[in-house]
Amino acid sequence: MNIHEYQAKELFKEFGIPVPNGVLVETVEQARQAVASSPLFKGDSKPAVWAVKAQIHAGGRGKAGGVKIAKTVEEIPGFVEQILGKTLVTHQTGPEGRKVQKVWIEEGSRIAREYYLSAVVDRTSRRITLIASTEGGMEIEEVAQSHPEKILHLSIDPAEDYFPYIGRRLFSFLGLPFQVQSQFVNLVRDLLSFFQKRDASMVEINPLVLTQDDRLVALDAKVGFDDNALGRHPSIRDLRDLSEENELEIEASKYNLNYVKLDGNIACMVNGAGLAMATMDVIALAGGSPSNFLDVGGGASKETVEQAFRIILSDPHVKGIFVNIFGGIVRCERIAGGIIAAAQDVKVTVPLVVRLQGTNAKEGREMLKSSGLAIQVAEELFEGAEKIVLAVKGEA
């Protein structure tokens, strides 16, 4: 699960990681009120500039016009107006982009230098790994390509946990000035503590800035959490922003269906994640384009299949459905019965190909054939993919 920058910064604050002060607004009116009332915008100690930042779950906001620097307080509501409601297209949003519904206004920092600091679970070392780089503000993948020597990876032994030497190693690699050593060492400690105590899957501070008055500040914050651990962190689960997710995916998750929307026009419904991916691949191999990933799990009961059909058919691009079930524990006749009943109830009007294999597959296929419904039946995976691709092309 991903969260917004402003939420990440609130969590950082709770764990003692320094962040800029800011306010969140959802309307231009709120921005006007904030500017008029919040101490962040007045008095002698007010900052010289403010950053007005679109809150969406994707990186690359700056390049897409989602971040503005206001040099006067008066400029701020205008910038908020420009950003709010705008659809930002970045390299992480896909071509459809993301609509901005929240804007975070924060104090600007007088930046002396920018750094990169993150923590992830590294699947190779099977440990939390800290990653630091002197190239703050750049995409870490790009730095890894062009200047791998400018990145330090440090894996944390879960039996040892955090000791200050770990922070000092990163500190000397980054070449930070001595007067911020203890600040930095504590920041790494707090970052790691946040990661472990909240079951994060990724925490990225890019850039981490050193200000001209020798303070370290997390200027940006990107945080993802381990979905498997949300059960023990209800306060983190509450941070989920449904408006950032695909409506069909939210609907599917209500029925324990694992659905991911794609760009094609052939829907698939499969039991098992690996087989579901392979089914998408086979549709592409047969010359079609899959419109989704959908794992209905082991059971594939009538109710599950019915919900799956409803979700699939809510996507207006879908021109055909390929159901691929490998009946193992659950016998194929039962699955066939479920598919027939669900197809009748949902009134599937696009071509439907069902490939059944496994326990009593023959009987299951016979049931589908004699159901009186326009269901094409396949024995093999590729055969099924070819049939649905052909059927969809015939429709077009």
Partner 1 sequence: MSILVDRSTRVIVQGITGKEGSYHAVACREYGTKVLGGVTPGKGGSTHEGFPVWNSVFDARDAENPDVSLIFVPPAFAADAILESIAANIPLIVCITEGIPVLDMVRVRRVLDARNAEGAEIRLIGPNCPGIITPDGAKIGIMPGYIHKRGRVGVVSRSGTLTYEAVWQLTQLGLGESTCVGIGGDPVRGLNFIDVLELFEKDPETEAVVMIGEIGGEDEERAAVFAQTRMTKPVVGFIAGLTAPPGRRMGHAGAIVSGGKGTAKEKMAFLESHGVAVVDNPSLIGKTVFDVLASGKSRRPLLPV
Binding site for partner 1 (CB under 8 A): 92, 94, 121, 123-124, 126-128, 140-141, 144, 157-159, 196, 199, 201, 226-229, 231-232, 258, 260, 262, 270-278, 280-285, 290, 293, 295, 326-329, 357-359, 380-383
Q: Which residues pair with 321 in a beta bridge?
A: 267, 352
Q: Is 116 a catalytic residue?
A: yes
Q: Is 244 a catalytic residue?
A: no
What are the two backbone dihedrals, phi and then psi, of residue 387, each rounded to the nearest 5 degrees? -60, -45
What minimum distance in Å lies between the beta carbon of 202 and partner 1? 9
Whether 241 contacts 21, CB under 8 Å: no
CA dist., res. 61 & res. 139, Å (int): 12
Long-range contacts of 181-187 (CB under 8 A, 24+ apart): 183/18, 183/215, 183/216, 184/216, 186/16, 187/17, 187/18, 187/117, 187/216
What minimum distance in Å lies between the beta carbon of 135 and partner 1? 15
Placement of tokens 């439907």 in the chain: 352
Whether 203 contacts 223, CB under 8 Å: yes
Pick the closest to residue 14 from 239, 240, 179, 213 (CA basis).
239
CA dist., res. 366 & res. 61, Å (int): 54
Among 6, 106, 107, 116, the active-site one is 116
Among 5, 107, 135, 204, the active-site one is 204
Whether 200 contacts 15, CB under 8 Å: no
| Residues annotated as part of the active site | 116, 204
